[in-house]
Amino acid sequence: MAPIQGKEGMVDSDLLHTEKILADRKTFFLDLKENSRGMVVKITEDVSGNRDTIMVPAEILGDFIAALTDIKATADSR
């Protein structure tokens, strides 16, 4: 896989896949990355230039997605 162009023109060679979600004034970036310790999903929220980020290890993505699915089911039922 060819390196993906990162911010400020730098090549981000550990980026495997990226998704972008726009929601009102927020932008969410979901990046699958790999390094010597393994794969992680980096989730970044950008609000008017202010960014917060969490890292989710790839090996617990199933648990993370299941928890989000449960939360969505509760929100949908209200």
pLDDT tens by residue, 2-25: 444 555 444 566 999 999 999 999
pTM comes to 0.79
Residue 57 reports pLDDT greater than 60: yes
Q: Is 67 helix (H, G, I), strand (E, B) or coil?
A: helix
Residue type, 49: G
Mode of pairing for the β-strands spanning 11-12 and 26-35: unpaired
Fold of the 14-76 domain: Nuclear Transport Factor 2; Chain: A, (3.10.450)
Residue 1 reports pLDDT greater than 70: no
What pLDDT does residue 11 have? 53
Q: Where does residue 31 rank: exposed (0-12), middle (13-18), buried (19+ CB within 10 A)?
A: buried
Cβ neighbours of residue 41 closer than 8 Å, sequence gap 6 or more: 30, 31, 32, 33, 55, 56, 58, 61
